[in-house]
Amino acid sequence: WLVIQRGLQIGRSIILIYLCDVSLVVDGQEFPAHKSLLACSSDYFRAMFKEYTKESKAAVIHLKVISATGLENILDFIYTSWLSLSMYSLEDTLEAACYLQVMDAIPLCSQFVVNNCALENCCFAANIASKFYLLDAMVASEKYIINNLWRLLQEDVDEVELLELNTKSMLTLLTSDDIPKVDEKKLLNLTLKWLQYDKIRLLNAKALFENIRYGLLPLDTLRELYTQSKVPLTASIKNLIIKAINYHSCPTKQPILQDKFSTLRSQKAWIMLIGGDANGELVENVLGFDVYSHKWRMVTNLQKKVRLHCTCVIGNFLYVLGGESPERLNDDTTEISLGITKVVYRYDPRFDQWIQVASMLEKRAQFSCCVVNNFIFAMGGRKEDQAIISSVEMYDVNRNCWTKSKELPCKMHGHASTLHKNIIYISGGKSAVQVNSSKDVYSFNRMEGQWKKQALMTIARFGHQMATVNDAIFTFLGIYEPFSDIERYDPVHNQWTRLRPMTFDRFCYGLVVVEQTVLLLGGKKWQDAQEVHTQNIVGYDTENDCWEEICSLAFPFSGLHCAILQLSDKSASM
């Protein structure tokens, strides 16, 4: 054995020939070897060299299935435990390893694919992994393709490799819920090209088309797909296309028509910063904030600059309601003033589009809103001439209309609201401009249709915020509060509890709940008897009753409202 090992250091091709007892011949090339070592390393050779077989007595054995390159690499592995691999030799090596049943070499090939997957070979790697059932390599290569599909679809990248992708990987691609920077139209075009690349693939058309998200395709694309004849469509697929066409024909109903075919391929939720002012100017830009990476992105522009408004989300559609907006005093002047509006706009992140839906029955600012079973409730607020109102109205998404609901127990504005188990809770506010802030809390069950008074807060609040986390309701700072205390309400026991005070005093901030943490974004604070903007974002851990500073806002926002939306991965980060 020492002699053999010494010969291997010089090169296996010059192993002492007189010690070899068999020659393996592939494609005219001869490879001397030792039967005993082959039998110890390969189930194939172990069975071949049994005493009763003809091959056990043969000095030369011809192997016709594998290549010379593959055999050479596997023999090197048998003799040295080292496996020399490249993408060029990978398939030959795997064929030899599988055919000769040298099983220890296969995980090494799989790991090689995982470690060397790149833009120029990822499709080939997926095909190899699929052909030889390399599960780890399959997962890694498919994940790489999904994350880099936007690069593979660029004009300067060879599209042929992508069109040669195996069926299983193509199906995995289309079933993915998170494909960065690729819109659905590009996925559809890729699918059509892939099916036409080899006519036998048309047998897989139904399985692939069932995973196209037709609600994310433009109307003209849907009609073109329905009428094309290059790829036959089954009746069930045509029904999906017709359903998507009908989806586009009822834009105001879309939030309640959501299913997997209209859900964005994005797992990331962004915090939207909507309206308010920065440095004394009303903000037009709607920004998105990723709390995990601290990245910002420009999302869209408001149809109207607004403050003292409300926002809510239904079916991943953003609604912006009422508030104060700039408007001309009359048609004959360019002078602008702030007027209270009843207009409602809706933003669709799928197509980056705004539409105006039915306006509220009354103009409102400094009011609150909640969503109950896909109905939007707009409650109280202030209208023109500083008049405080008690009216409540309800928006029916299905009918695109507002109807009156049970009025509040009293006129109020600057109050806060939240939802807990489909019951609306409102707190605080003022009943008139010069009256002190209120401690009152009311609840409203839509099924009962009545407002009920609940336990009072321990602090009177105005212009504050409420948030529901699990089974608790929290109230946070309002305007002109002398302390920084916050409170937790237990709806089951109708009881309030004081919590750790904020170390970051503020008002006119945005609020949003992310998992178990309540985030407060921007706003104003008192400094030397002056209102000054604050740019930091702070988080309140509801489980541990503690505060921490997260990061800073891109701009000194105040009076903003926040919502969480899933966005298409198109806009660049700031």
DSSP 346-380: EEETTTTEEEEEPPPSS--BS-EEEEETTEEEEE-
Q: How far is CA 133 from CA 109, 110, 119, 169, 544, in A?
A: 11, 9, 21, 12, 47
**DSSP letter, residue 8:** H
Average pLDDT, the chain: 89
What are the pLDDT digits (tens) for 113-140?
Answer: 999 999 999 999 999 999 999 999 999 9
Question: Taking a C-beta distance cutoff of 8 angstroms, is the pair 417, 426 a contact?
Answer: yes
DSSP 197-226: HSGGGGGGHHHHHTTS-GGGS-HHHHHHHH
When pLDDT is cut at 50, 70 and 90, the band that residue 554 belongs to is confident
Q: How far is CA 302 from CA 273, 336, 364, in A?
A: 11, 18, 18
Question: Taking a C-beta distance cutoff of 8 angstroms, is the pair 364, 372 a contact?
Answer: no
Burial class (CB in 10 A: 0-12, 13-18, 19+), 479: middle
Q: Count CB-CB contacts under 10 A for residue 527.
A: 11
Question: d(Cα 193, Cα 443) in Å, to the nearest integer?
Answer: 57
What are the pLDDT digits (tens) for 510-538?
Answer: 999 999 999 999 998 887 778 888 888 99
Question: Taking a C-beta distance cutoff of 8 angstroms, is the pair 339, 330 a contact?
Answer: no
When pLDDT is cut at 50, 70 and 90, the band that residue 574 belongs to is very low
When pLDDT is cut at 50, 70 and 90, the band that residue 304 belongs to is very high
Backbone angles phi, psi at 554, to 5 degrees: -70, -30
Q: What is the pLDDT of residue 182?
A: 93
Q: Which amino acid is at 171?
A: L
Q: Which amino acid is at 181?
A: K
392-396 and 375-379 as β-strands: parallel, antiparallel, unpaired? antiparallel
Stretch among 11-25, 62-76, 218-232, 386-400 having the lowest mean pLDDT: 11-25
Angle between helices 90-100 and 105-116 (to 10 degrees): 160
Q: Is the pLDDT of residue 471 over 60?
A: yes
List the domains of the chain with CATH numbers: 1-116 (3.30.710.10), 269-566 (2.120.10.80)
Q: Which residue has the tokens 């309030």?
A: 496
When pLDDT is cut at 50, 70 and 90, the band that residue 485 belongs to is confident
Question: d(Cα 403, Cα 389) in Å, to the nearest integer?
Answer: 16
Q: Which of 43, 33, 182 is nearest to 103 (CA)?
A: 43
Q: What is the pLDDT of residue 465?
A: 95
What are the pLDDT digits (tens) for 382-403?
Answer: 998 889 999 999 999 999 999 9
Question: In the chain, pLDDT over 90 holds for what percent of residues?
Answer: 70
Q: Which amino acid is at 203?
A: L
Q: Which residue has the tokens 């305007």?
A: 479
DSSP 475-513: EE--TT-SS---EEEETTTTEEEE-PPPSS--BS-EEEE
